[in-house]
Amino acid sequence: MRKKGFLKISSAQIIPLGFFALILFGTVMLLLPISTAPGESTSLLTALFTSTTSVCVTGLVVTDTFAHWSLFGQIVILVLIQLGGLGVITVYSAFILTLHKRMALKDQILLMDAFNLSSLDGLLVFLGRVLRGTFIVEGAGALMYLPAFIPRFGIVRGIWVSVFTSISAFCNAGIDIIGSDSLMSFKSDPLVLITTMLLIVLGGIGYIVWFDLLSNLKRRGERKRRISEHTKLVLFLTAALILFGAASTFALEYSNPATLGGMSLGDKILNSFFQSVTFRTAGFATFTQKGLTESSALIGAVLMFIGGSPVGTAGGVKTVTFYVILKNTMSFVLNRNETIILRRRVNRSFVQEATAILTTSLTVVFLFTVLVCATNKLSLTDGLYEVVSATATVGLTRDLTPQLNRIGRVFIIICMYLGRIGPISLALFFRMRHSPKNNVSISEGKFIVG
């Protein structure tokens, strides 16, 4: 029996509650008069929407972040992005250690679940590496932005814009304080676009992949260098999806005057890759998403839905989840008894878990697409793009978000929240049974499918 009071609330419940509390805190802070720029006013719904999109690192906004919020308000938004990107459990654990307090066993288990690890061994070391790695990469990104932003905005503001953009890009938030057109004015600037892509990809591949690659680089003098099958799969899927997205964008938008049509060949290639990367839960844009062809918008919705990789800052159902479902389907078609990936058998419970996550996410997308389209009289393409962007915490919009009515904005808030807790908590929810397993043998039923 569990001790009284020990883990009364599971991590599958604590994580959503933690994000909810952080959203409420952010809403209160953004409602303060000091958070709003002179001449602007902030309603409760606007503050709630902005806090949610920041904590859930989504990037959809109903007001221009640069013009509507004061410096204090922008700092609040950036802090919410950082906390949301790291995760409430990670921040909570770091806070405990900062106070030089010893983490209780229940807190360690909670952190282990948040990182989706299988053991408590080396957990605190892993946490320290996550925090150090995050700040090092964000700092490096900010330094790389300086040559582009300081000449345009001046020294002080240029540094601030660099720091804000770097943290937002690494956390896959897509919120910026450059202006109302995201990165459109930098569509011909390789430094800004490549730096942003690197930050997005590094945040999206996941910390486990980071540390696996780094540990193997340190052992490069040894004869045997083996990286895990998870790292191999994540790197393969990341590269494949980026190449697919870039190739499809280049082919479908090549002559489209609203997107790539007026660019040079080099800029078309660069912006095709940037669009492919930003589809993967980043939310930055170098051209209006409204101008995308229907085909590109549909492909983009699929890429957004898949999202990034596990234990990172990106959203979506995750690359590995999607690939497991795909391979399981192929195994059935080829009449194989097991699902094999990289010559390794996939545990059956993992396939069930991935199926549950995918099915739940599809259900959320279908339901809220219907609701948003019905209450705002939108086209299916615009409504689907907006809802997938929200649930996958991407932040791309076909110029729709500020035009949504109140009920539409509430639906998108719910989508962003479900999308942020989904990749973290849905797997735990379906794995952690709140009731004992059924040990009674039940007769097999005869059903027909297909």
pLDDT 10s digits, 279-316: 988 889 999 999 999 999 999 999 999 988 887 777 88
Query: Cα separation of 288 and 450, whole Å?
Result: 41
Query: Cα separation of 70 and 1, whole Å?
Result: 53
Which amino acid, 90?
T
Dihedral (CA of 230, 231, 234, 236) sign: negative
Q: What are the helix (H) ranges across 173-293?
A: 190-205, 207-218, 229-253, 265-279
pLDDT in the model for residue 11: 57
Per-residue pLDDT of the chain (450 residues), as tens digits, is 444 444 455 556 677 888 899 999 999 999 999 999 999 999 999 999 999 999 998 889 999 998 999 999 999 999 999 998 887 777 777 776 666 667 666 667 767 766 666 667 777 788 888 888 899 999 999 999 999 999 999 999 999 999 999 999 999 888 999 987 889 999 999 999 999 999 999 988 888 888 888 877 766 555 555 788 888 899 999 999 999 999 999 999 999 999 999 999 999 999 999 999 999 888 899 999 999 999 999 999 999 999 888 877 778 888 999 999 999 999 889 888 888 888 888 888 888 888 888 988 999 999 999 999 999 989 999 999 999 999 998 989 998 999 999 999 999 999 999 888 874 454 454 444 445 555 666 776 667 766
Query: Cα separation of 165 and 159, whole Å?
Result: 10
pLDDT 10s digits, 210-246: 888 887 776 655 555 578 888 889 999 999 999 999 9
For the chain, what are the domain ranges? 11-211+231-431
Side-chain half-sphere CA neighbours of 146 within 13 A: 10
Which amino acid, 29?
M
Q: Assess contact for 89 and 110: CB atoms under 8 A.
A: yes
pLDDT in the model for residue 312: 75
pLDDT in the model for residue 266: 94
Residue 136's contacts (CB-CB under 8 Å, 6 or more residues apart) are none
**How many whole angstroms from its chain centre is CA 220?**
32
Q: What is the DSSP string of 259-289?
A: TTTTS-HHHHHHHHHHHHHHHTTT---SS-G
Query: Cα separation of 66 and 9, whole Å?
Result: 40
Residue 345's DSSP bridge partners are 340
User: Which secondary structure element, helix H or strand E, spans residue 345, and what is its range?
Assistant: strand 344-345
Of 195, 166, 190, 191, the residue nearest 178 (C-alpha)? 166
Exposed e or buried b per residue across 12-28, where buried means at least 16 C-beta atoms within 10 angstroms of its C-beta: bbbbbebbeebbeebbe
β-strands 344-345, 340-341 pairing: antiparallel
